[in-house]
Chain A
Amino acid sequence: MRLTDEEKMMLDGGKGFSVQKAMDIIVRLGEIYGAEGLAKFSSGHIDGNIDKEHNETSIEFLETLVAEGVKISPFVTLNSVGLDRERYSELGFSKEDFKEQLRLNHVFESIGCVGLYSCVPYFGGNLPRFGEHVCWSDSATIPFINAVVGARTSREAGLSALMAALAGRTPLYSYHLAENRLGEVLVKVEAELEGIHDYCVLGYVAGERVGSRVPVFEGLAEKPRVLDLLSLGTGMGTSGAVGMYHVPGVTPEAPTRDVAFGGRRPQEVIRITKKDLDLIYERFNDAPGSDVDFVALGCPHNSIEQLEQIVLALRGRKISKNVVMWVQTSAPIRALADRMGLSQEIRRSGGHVTADICSVCAPVKKLGIRSVTTDSVKQAFYSHVFNGFRTRLGSVGEVVESAVLGKWVGD
């Protein structure tokens, strides 16, 4: 791999231990994946979220790595975490519950990462331009940044994105290269999609079938909106390793289907029907009985528009006293929701408007909850695999209605 003189100097320790260690890893990654060189980048996003328990090893490693006081040069935001640092006590937690999370936050903030703590960082000030080489982690943000924005990132892990931030360089492989961004599989959608919950489930089905290939979607009835595309990518990042996709006529690198495939024929044609979506809803509607006890809306974090929809769906009603409802968003969006009176409306109904936090990463077992009701298949999936909860999955309307009644009203 070609390295510049400055990069060789960094690799030799000329910029200190942290940069040397990071550069060593970045160069090895570049060599493994056949990069011809490294790119300086200005926009990064780090998923610093590690397990909520027993983190000592990871935290010690990271503390040692940055001990000499290194500062990163790119603009880098941090992904959602297990803590709402302003409102943790009203959620039923104590500061003691977040000792490790706070230590970890400190490591990242001390090197200059921005404590945005959101899985929708593009709605909070981190938005690269079309064609820019960037370095992003988090399985849901990556397809968004590649496919919808048209910036170029590999599917980085939190740790590799951190190493890249320290080195200020990302290896040019995977989706950084034009040929790896071309469509490989044609996905024909033969189902009516009724909202972002359906887009997310469609993505989940597609991700299971395409694995790590680049799908091209046809048959989406209307031109999808940005939140629809965000949900589609979120679903694919959950069940597969998809970091790039195209919707001809909609996403910026696919004016036509032919351009999306770079003039080649699809390797495979996959049809996805209503029945395929129904099977996923069935799988994630496995909570026994109909009592709803914990509701999590906002995976990825709610946009301001989604908060308005939730308030509309609540229609000023109180949620059931047996239900705990988290409406998850980022700190800047919550500040705006406060100003608009949306947060107050949700609180009057008995719900919480949370910032930074994701219920999957938070110590929610402490709250004694038994099941998770959500409009996001990603939230449902990780509630299962990590927290062992049974789940209910439906539209935002069904979820809000169920929160009010304390009973599941979905199919």
Chain B
Amino acid sequence: MKSFSMRGRTISGGKAEGKALVTRDAIVFNLGIDAETGIITESGHELEGVSVSGKILIFPFGKGSTGGAYTIFRMGKKKTGPKAMVCQNSEILTTIGSLLGEIPVVDSLSEDDLARIATGDLVKVNADEGRIEVFPLGLEQGTDQD
């Protein structure tokens, strides 16, 4: 499988690269994720117990309590959160949290676009230009399946 790139909209600028962590479930940032560890705590969430820390988090949108912006902000400041986030629709809590917490975010990708990315793929995010490049797992050198 070859690498491919996609374009979205800049929400919060910056560049980052890392392994993708993909979910089709919306994320409750307020109280549904532990800002100290980046571990998703929402019971029944597809990624319950999984840490978003150091990953490129691919998700549809944030939901629930608008206090979630503080969680994103804090993960950004303390570097416990994702290196970057890519989503369908960055609603206000995701946007304000990532702007103030300085986490690069690109949105306006379709559900089908996001479905092309799998957990473990290497993703390079250039949020300043709203561009992401995806290197499917096994393509990049020295892949480790963590």
Q: What is A's interface to B at a CB cutoff of 8 Å? A: 25, 28-29, 32-33, 47, 49-51, 53-55, 57-58, 61, 137-139, 142, 154-160, 163, 174, 211-212, 237-241, 283, 360, 381-382, 384-386, 388
CB of B64 within 8 Å of the partner chain: yes
| Shortest Cβ gap from B14 to chain A (Å) | 14
Interface residue ranges of B53-105 to A (CB < 8 Å): 61-71, 73-74, 77-78, 89-93, 95-97, 99-100
Contacting residue for A51 out of B28, B70, B77, CB 8 A: B70
A345 to B78, CA, bound (A): 47
What are the residues of chain B within 8 A of A61 when measuring CB–CB?
A: 73, 77, 100
CA distance A155 to B92 in the complex (A): 7
A81: min CB distance to chain B, Å: 11
Q: Say whether, besides A29-B96, A388-B41, A156 and B28 are in contact (CB < 8 Å).
A: no
Q: B70: which of A155, A159, A382 is its contact (CB, 8 Å)?
A: A159
Contact call A47/B65, Cβ cutoff below 8 A: yes
Closest Cβ of chain B to A257, distance in Å, is: 27
Interface residues of B (CB under 8 A from A): 9, 11, 26, 28, 31-32, 35-36, 41-44, 61-71, 73-74, 77-78, 89-93, 95-97, 99-100
Give me 5 A-to-B residue pairs in the complex whose CB atoms sit less than 8 angstroms apart, sorted by A's number.
A61-B73, A142-B66, A239-B63, A241-B62, A382-B65
Q: Would B66 and A50 count as touching, CB distance under 8 A?
A: no
Q: Which residues of B contact A160 (CB under 8 A)?
A: 69, 92-93, 95-96
Contact (A241, B63) CB under 8 Å given A51-B70, A384-B43, A385-B43 = yes
Chain B contacts for A142, CB-based, 8 A: 66
Given A51-B31, A241-B91: A57 and B64 interface contact (C-beta under 8 Å): no
Residues in B neighbouring A139, C-beta threshold 8 A? 64-66
Contact for A386 among B11, B31, B69, B97, CB less than 8 A: B31
Q: In the complex, which residues of chain B have a beta carbon less than 8 angstroms from the beta carbon of A241? A: 26, 61-64, 91
Candidate in B68, B69, B99 with the most chain A CB atoms within 10 angstroms: B69
List, in ascending order, chain A residues with CB within 8 A of B96's CB: 25, 29, 157, 159-160, 163
Contact B43 A212 (CB under 8 A): no
In the complex the two chains form, what is the Cα distance from A385 to B31 in whole Å? 6
Give me the 6 closest cross-chain CB pairs, A-B, nearest first: A386-B31, A157-B69, A157-B93, A160-B96, A50-B70, A157-B66
Residues of chain A within 8 A of B65, CB atoms compared: 47, 138-139, 237-238, 382
Q: Taking chain B's interface residues, is the majority helix, strand, or loop, or is none over half, making it mixed?
A: mixed
Q: Cβ of A33: which chain B residues have Cβ within 8 Å of it?
A: 92
Most buried by B among A32, A54, A212: A32
A51 with B92: in contact, given A139-B64, A385-B28 (CB under 8 Å)? no
Closest residue of A by beta carbon distance from B44:
A283
Residues of B near A388 (CB, < 8 A) are: 41, 43
Given A240-B63, A385-B28, A386-B31; 9 other pairs, CB 8 A cutoff: A50-B71, A137-B66, A154-B92, A156-B92, A157-B67, A157-B97, A211-B61, A283-B44, A382-B31
A contact residues around B90 at 8 Å (CB): 32
User: Is the Cβ of B66 less than 8 Å from the Cβ of A28?
Assistant: no
Which of B74, B91, B97 contacts A155, CB < 8 Å?
B91
Q: Which of B11, B28, B41, B66 contacts A138 (CB 8 A)?
A: B66
Contact of B92 among A29, A58, A386 (CB under 8 A): A29
* Interface pair B63/A32, CB less than 8 Å apart: no
**Cβ B74 vs Cβ A57 within 8 A:** yes
Q: B61 contacts A156, CB within 8 Å?
A: no
- List of B residues within 8 angstroms of A58 by Cβ: 70, 73-74
Give the residues in chain B near A156, CB-CB below 8 Å: 66, 92
When the two chains form the complex, which single residue of B44, B78, B92 contacts A57, counting CB atoms closer than 8 Å? Answer: B78
Residues of A within 8 A of B92 (CB): 29, 33, 154-157, 160, 174
Set of chain B residues within 8 Å of A283, measured between Cβ atoms: 44
Q: Which of chain A's residues has its CB closest to B42's CB?
A: A385
Q: In the complex the two chains form, what is the Cα distance from A153 to B110 in whole Å?
A: 26
Report the minimal beta-carbon distance from A19 to chain B, rounded to whole angstroms. Answer: 16
B90 to chain A, nearest CB (A): 8
Whether A51 contacts B41 in the complex (CB less than 8 A), given A29-B92, A137-B66, comes out as no
Q: Is the CB of A158 within 8 A of B69?
A: yes
Q: Is A386 in contact with B41, judged by CB distance below 8 angstroms?
A: yes
- Among A28, A158, A385, the residue within 8 A (CB) of B99 is A28
Cβ–Cβ < 8 Å partners of B93 in chain A? 157, 160
Decide: A158 and B63 in contact? CB cutoff 8 A: no
Bound complex: CA A32 to CA B44 (Å): 32
B95 lies within 8 A of A29 (CB): yes
Residue of A nearest to B33 (CB): A385
Collect the chain B residues with CB atoms within 8 Å of residue A54's CB: 35-36, 74
A155 proximity list for chain B (CB < 8 A): 66, 91-92
Contact A47 B63 (CB under 8 A): no
CB distance from A180 to the nearest CB of B (A): 13
